[in-house]
C-alpha cells in the first residue's frame, strides 16, 4: 500500500516512494538516490549537519537535491 508519493520536478509524474528507489534492470538504487520511473531524472538527497542547542533543541541542517547520472 502506498504511503508517500513523490512528484517529479522534470516531467510531473507522480509515483510512490518505493517506485523511485529502484530500476527495472539494476534493482535497488544507492541509499539516498532517487530516480523518476517515467523520465529517469535522478537526484541524490544531500543534507548539512543539524545544530543542537544547550537547551536540547535540535534544528536540522539544510537539505539539497543534487542531480546525478541516471541508472538504467
pTM across the whole model: 0.74
Measured CA to CA, the distance from residue 12 to residue 17 in angstroms comes to 14
Q: Which three cell numbers stand for residue 44?
A: 541524490
- Asked if residue 20 lies in contact with residue 46, where contact means CB atoms within 8 angstroms, the answer is no
CA dihedral 9, 28, 46, 67 (to 10 degrees): -40
- Asked if residue 36 lies in contact with residue 22, where contact means CB atoms within 8 angstroms, the answer is no
pLDDT band at 2 (very low <50, low <70, confident <90, very high): low
pLDDT digits (tens, 9 = 90+) for 6-63: 999 899 999 999 899 988 787 899 988 999 999 999 999 999 999 999 999 999 999 9
Phi, psi of 31 (to 5 degrees): -55, 130
The domain segmentation of the chain, as residue ranges, is 5-68
Amino acid at each position: 500500500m502506498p504511503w508517500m508519493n513523490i512528484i517529479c520536478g522534470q516531467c510531473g509524474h507522480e509515483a510512490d516512494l518505493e517506485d523511485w528507489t529502484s530500476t527495472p534492470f539494476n534493482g535497488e538504487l544507492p541509499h539516498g538516490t532517487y530516480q523518476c520511473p517515467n523520465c529517469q531524472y535522478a537526484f541524490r538527497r544531500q543534507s548539512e549537519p543539524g545544530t543542537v542547542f544547550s537547551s536540547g533543541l535540535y534544528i536540522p541542517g539544510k537539505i539539497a537535491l543534487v542531480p546525478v547520472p541516471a541508472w538504467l
